[in-house]
């Protein structure tokens, strides 16, 4: 289809419909939604309608960065991810820093206990037997997004502490 085949209002309607179909599956951030609508908008010849479609979905309450951030934080905590990784993912998905911090604060678990639990699930409660194993566990927890202090706590926790 080219720009002459469709009117701007029809293009906007199609973009909103596509956005709604995406939202049925899961929450999206506004930035993420705009990225996903771009190929359709380009095909229709109305790339300038993306912002209007996103705004329309936000105004109607279908698209919300706050709801998306809350969902993502809860999901990542359940998967055993730490605060550093969650913040980075929210930033990558286009969520404003203030909203990201607010979502993390509302859902904030005991990060130290979570780090210990993640380590226990992966490596058991036994202390690392050597430096190589300790380094391996530290890298694993670091990649999960835990801070140095949280990693140290998780490594020091033993079966007698449980």
The separation between CA 134 and the C-alpha centre of its own chain, rounded to angstroms, equals 29
Q: Tell me: do 73 and 54 sit in the same domain.
A: no
What the block records as the tokens of 14 is: 């199609």
Q: Give the chain's domain count.
A: 3
Burial degree of 76 (CB within 10 A; 0-12, 13-18, 19+): buried
Q: Tell me: do 53 and 8 sit in the same domain.
A: yes
Q: What is the pLDDT of residues 30-55, one digit of tens each?
A: 999 999 999 999 998 899 999 999 99
Query: What pLDDT is recorded for position 124?
Result: 82
Q: Name the phi and psi angles at 110, rounded to 5.
A: -80, 100
Q: Tell me: do 85 and 44 sit in the same domain.
A: no
Q: Tell me: do 26 and 74 sit in the same domain.
A: no
Q: Which domain holds residue 16?
A: 3-63
pTM exceeds cut of 0.75: yes
Q: Tell me: do 51 and 73 sit in the same domain.
A: no
* H and E: helices and strands count for the chain: 9, 0
Query: What pLDDT is recorded for position 158?
Result: 60
The DSSP code for 64 is -
Residue 72's SS3 state is: helix
Q: Tell me: do 100 and 143 sit in the same domain.
A: no
CATH of the domain at 86: 1.10.10
- Write out residues in the chain with pLDDT < 70, as ranges: 1-4, 158-162
Query: What pLDDT is recorded for position 3?
Result: 47
């Amino acid at each position: 289809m080219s720009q002459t085949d469709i009117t701007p209002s029809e293009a906007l309607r199609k973009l909103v419909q596509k956005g709604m179909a995406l939202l049925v599956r899961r929450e999206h951030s506004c930035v993420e939604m705009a990225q996903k609508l771009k190929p359709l908008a380009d095909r229709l010849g109305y790339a300038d309608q993306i912002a209007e479609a996103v705004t329309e979905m936000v105004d109607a309450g279908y698209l919300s960065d706050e709801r998306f951030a809350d969902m993502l934080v809860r999901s990542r905590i359940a998967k055993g991810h730490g605060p550093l990784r969650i913040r980075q993912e929210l930033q990558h998905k286009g969520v404003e820093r203030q909203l990201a911090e607010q979502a993390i604060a509302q859902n904030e678990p005991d990060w130290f206990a979570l780090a210990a639990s993640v380590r226990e699930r992966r490596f058991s409660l036994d202390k690392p037997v050597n430096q190589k194993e300790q380094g391996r566990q530290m890298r694993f927890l670091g990649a999960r997004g835990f801070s140095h202090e949280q990693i140290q706590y998780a490594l020091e926790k033993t079966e007698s502490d449980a």
